[in-house]
Chains A and B, each alone.
Chain A
């Protein structure tokens, strides 16, 4: 097994989770829990691939993916913000809706031939750093580099800028934010939309860069839900979200590679000789999500950290809230 290649591919596959998780961090920081990530990612992956197939332009695909997933998130936004519906159920129905829409419109896409994908880049100077240059800056998709920039930028935006402070205020104590002149509804719509756009970006990253193609609902295979879990593990912090995403990406990649060699740590590799043992390997990312959640929740209990105080609660002016 070549660790450089595993980590290199792990970073790439973690980028998918990174976009979705940071998008969810934005939405949840404003108080809107969006469980529809899986549906929005699927819509993004489908529309990106569909546009790339029909117009032979991956960049246009990327743009359309961000718009469609963003629009879908606004449905959730309207139902939760103006209609004050239950955010959990609305998010679940968004998953159904997004999955259904992408399966209907994606019919036949799985048979599409070769498509021009988003380009891969090698960064001239940085790639010559030993090991790290090979892992981080060599032959990575351009989306991976976008991910490197997005995580610190999101952290800076949320924690160090004025609109970021408004965002946090709306998620923690909307009544106070309202009194201070922050438009709670508009803020929540904005960041729900941002969450949707990033989920669309995440979907497009799958179908146009990391594992190109359209494989109906298997395109995302639960990564949207893993991202929801990572958001909690990350304690709503973009940098922790990035770390978690890359770790998960590496894990997913490692699992694929464990089945290839004939020997594993000097023993016969059971996953090679009994291929169906591989199903236990496939469980690992899902089981690990649960473990990560337990760790995150215990830590939150211990340090009295927690979700944004108004997460999941509709805001109605004049009513007593949190």
Chain B
């Protein structure tokens, strides 16, 4: 906005907008926190409309439930487990300005592929856990990567808009899973597969309650460590490797990247596959650690929440971990109160407030007397 000033002449002051030359370090974080607060305020309005007399008191009491006991914290972290991975999946793709909004579908296919190892069965039910779990992880990664490959390939080869292809593949993934849940693997006509054998479960803290009594009832499972490990790897790829540099360059300035000899088509496919693989691993973690069978309702829209997490973290893989814990709490709070619609609304408002406030990052707004 060079030299541009917008003024309202009839008022005793005017609002002057000028571009910022440098952004203070604290500002992006402050803006993100502001967006979250705004989202919660609007959520309170919605709760009020829905008949909750004291919405902020409801927030406080739900926060006490979620963070006031180890059981609550453990449940929040269980929600955060898939969110970290899908948040990373979105961050990787968005770094190259590839709008992968198909993390949801890649999550479902990852869950499907991991289930196929158990239910086909690829491995016999007696196989020990240390074989089962790595094989299921690899299956989840490959499943998700394949689901990311097609949109990436179509984008690279025919310049097909990846937003719509990834989104359409979400619906296809859900129907694909339904075919197996309702048909092939249906247990006695119910819309779910049989329960996995114990060896295919990701160990939970509660499993060790006999040795450590404090762990009794804690649902936290091994999948939680996938996220932070993946975050460090993704951070390293993006900010410390040549490939990551190419990805970010292609995202910021594709023309410059092309002149610098970056193979955009190849990177498009690879980044979409990496993104899909991370989301697929999230699906595997959810299946192995929480649901322990394949069924329809395995995700309350994790893949979509991942988009917001990535954006709120400014695509920084390490920040994704922290933000995911907050969104884990938000999703859980919505579920506990039976109002997942309101947590969805809050997510929408947070994202809107966030992108609207980017204007404040780029420009300085001053109120000056005339």
- Tell whether A pairs with B: yes
Residues of A within 8 A of B (CB): 35, 39, 75, 78-79, 83-86, 88-90, 92-101, 103-105, 107, 222, 225-226, 228-229, 232, 274, 276-277, 279-280, 282-283, 286-287, 289-290, 293-294, 297-298, 300-301, 316-319
The reply to whether B348 and A99 contact each other, CB–CB distance below 8 Å, is yes
The reply to whether B355 and A79 contact each other, CB–CB distance below 8 Å, is yes
Known A104-B46, A276-B182, A279-B178: A79·B356 in contact at CB below 8 Å? yes
Main secondary structure of the interface of B (DSSP, over half): helix
Task: Compute how far the CA of A88 lies from the CA of B176 in the bound complex, rounded to whole angstroms.
Answer: 28
Task: Compute how far the CA of A255 lies from the CA of B56 in the bound complex, rounded to whole angstroms.
Answer: 48
Segment touching A, from B108-116, B120-128, B156-164, B237-245: B156-164
The reply to whether B4 and A317 contact each other, CB–CB distance below 8 Å, is yes
Known A103-B341, A297-B158: A222·B167 in contact at CB below 8 Å? yes
The reply to whether A289 and B164 contact each other, CB–CB distance below 8 Å, is yes
Distance (whole angstroms) from the CB of B169 to the closest CB of chain A: 8
Main secondary structure of the interface of A (DSSP, over half): helix
Q: Contacting A225 at CB < 8 Å: which of B168, B178, B307, B344?
A: B168
Q: Which of B301-349 contact A (CB under 8 A)?
A: 304, 307-308, 311, 341-342, 344-349
* B342 partner residues in chain A, CB cutoff 8 A: 100, 104
Task: Compute how far the CA of A279 lies from the CA of B184 in the bound complex, rounded to whole angstroms.
Answer: 12
Q: Which 8 A-B pairs have the closest CB atoms?
A: A100-B345, A96-B348, A276-B183, A97-B348, A103-B341, A93-B351, A100-B344, A279-B179
The reply to whether B179 and A104 contact each other, CB–CB distance below 8 Å, is no
* A83 partner residues in chain B, CB cutoff 8 A: 355-356, 358-359
The reply to whether B158 and A301 contact each other, CB–CB distance below 8 Å, is yes
* A98 partner residues in chain B, CB cutoff 8 A: 348
Nearest neighbor of A288 in chain B, beta-carbon distance: B168
Nearest neighbor of B350 in chain A, beta-carbon distance: A93
Nearest neighbor of A82 in chain B, beta-carbon distance: B359
The reply to whether A225 and B356 contact each other, CB–CB distance below 8 Å, is no
Task: Compute how far the CA of A289 lies from the CA of B2 in the bound complex, rounded to whole angstroms.
Answer: 42
The reply to whether A222 and B171 contact each other, CB–CB distance below 8 Å, is yes
The reply to whether B164 and A228 contact each other, CB–CB distance below 8 Å, is yes
Q: Contacting A289 at CB < 8 Å: which of B50, B168, B186?
A: B168
The reply to whether A101 and B164 contact each other, CB–CB distance below 8 Å, is no
Nearest neighbor of B351 in chain A, beta-carbon distance: A93
Cβ proximity bits B1-20 to A, threshold 8 Å, 1 near / 0 not: 11110000000000000000
| A105-B49, A301-B159 given; 9 more Cβ-contact pairs under 8 Å | A83-B358, A90-B355, A100-B345, A100-B349, A101-B348, A104-B341, A279-B176, A290-B164, A318-B2
Nearest neighbor of A306 in chain B, beta-carbon distance: B159
Residues of B within 8 A of A (CB): 1-4, 46, 49-50, 99, 101, 154, 158-161, 163-165, 167-169, 171-172, 175-176, 178-179, 182-183, 186, 304, 307-308, 311, 341-342, 344-349, 351-352, 355-356, 358-359, 362
Task: Compute how far the CA of A318 lies from the CA of B356 in the bound complex, rounded to whole angstroms.
Answer: 22
Task: Compute how far the CA of A297 lies from the CA of B155 in the bound complex, rounded to whole angstroms.
Answer: 10
Known A103-B344, A104-B341, A283-B172: A318·B4 in contact at CB below 8 Å? yes
Task: Compute how far the CA of A93 lies from the CA of B99 in the bound complex, rounded to whole angstroms.
Answer: 13
Distance (whole angstroms) from the CB of A202 to the closest CB of chain B: 17
* B347 partner residues in chain A, CB cutoff 8 A: 96, 100
The reply to whether B183 and A93 contact each other, CB–CB distance below 8 Å, is no
Task: Compute how far the CA of A300 lies from the CA of B46 in the bound complex, rounded to whole angstroms.
Answer: 45
Known A274-B183, A279-B182, A282-B175: A85·B355 in contact at CB below 8 Å? yes
The reply to whether A283 and B175 contact each other, CB–CB distance below 8 Å, is yes
* B167 partner residues in chain A, CB cutoff 8 A: 222, 225
Count chain B CB atoms within 10 A of each CB in A88, A225, A229, A286 and give the residue with the most: A286
Task: Compute how far the CA of A277 lies from the CA of B3 in the bound complex, rounded to whole angstroms.
Answer: 63
Task: Compute how far the CA of A274 lies from the CA of B183 in the bound complex, rounded to whole angstroms.
Answer: 8
Task: Compute how far the CA of A44 lies from the CA of B254 in the bound complex, rounded to whole angstroms.
Answer: 38
Distance (whole angstroms) from the CB of A279 to the closest CB of chain B: 4
* A274 partner residues in chain B, CB cutoff 8 A: 183
Give me 30 A-to-B residue pairs in the complex whose CB atoms sit less than 8 angstroms apart, sorted by A's number: A78-B356, A79-B355, A85-B359, A94-B352, A96-B304, A96-B344, A96-B348, A96-B351, A97-B348, A99-B348, A100-B345, A103-B341, A103-B345, A104-B342, A222-B168, A225-B164, A225-B167, A225-B168, A229-B164, A274-B183, A276-B183, A277-B183, A279-B183, A283-B172, A286-B169, A286-B175, A287-B168, A290-B154, A290-B168, A316-B2
* A283 partner residues in chain B, CB cutoff 8 A: 171-172, 175-176
The reply to whether B163 and A88 contact each other, CB–CB distance below 8 Å, is yes
Q: Contacting B161 at CB < 8 Å: which of A78, A293, A316?
A: A293
Task: Compute how far the CA of A96 lies from the CA of B306 in the bound complex, rounded to whole angstroms.
Answer: 12
* B307 partner residues in chain A, CB cutoff 8 A: 92
Distance (whole angstroms) from the CB of A305 to the closest CB of chain B: 12
Count chain B CB atoms within 10 A of each CB in A84, A93, A300 and give the residue with the most: A93
The reply to whether B165 and A293 contact each other, CB–CB distance below 8 Å, is yes
The reply to whether B179 and A89 contact each other, CB–CB distance below 8 Å, is no
The reply to whether B163 and A35 contact each other, CB–CB distance below 8 Å, is yes
* A290 partner residues in chain B, CB cutoff 8 A: 154, 160, 164-165, 168-169
The reply to whether A294 and B154 contact each other, CB–CB distance below 8 Å, is yes
The reply to whether A232 and B311 contact each other, CB–CB distance below 8 Å, is no
Distance (whole angstroms) from the CB of A317 to the closest CB of chain B: 7
* A297 partner residues in chain B, CB cutoff 8 A: 158-161
Distance (whole angstroms) from the CB of B251 to the closest CB of chain A: 12
The reply to whether A232 and B164 contact each other, CB–CB distance below 8 Å, is yes
Nearest neighbor of B183 in chain A, beta-carbon distance: A276
The reply to whether A84 and B359 contact each other, CB–CB distance below 8 Å, is yes
* B175 partner residues in chain A, CB cutoff 8 A: 279-280, 282-283, 286
Count chain B CB atoms within 10 A of each CB in A104, A107, A294 and give the residue with the most: A104
* A97 partner residues in chain B, CB cutoff 8 A: 345, 348-349, 352
Q: Contacting B4 at CB < 8 Å: which of A78, A90, A289, A316?
A: A316
* A225 partner residues in chain B, CB cutoff 8 A: 164, 167-168
The reply to whether A318 and B3 contact each other, CB–CB distance below 8 Å, is yes
* B154 partner residues in chain A, CB cutoff 8 A: 290, 293-294
Task: Compute how far the CA of A38 lies from the CA of B345 in the bound complex, rounded to whole angstroms.
Answer: 14
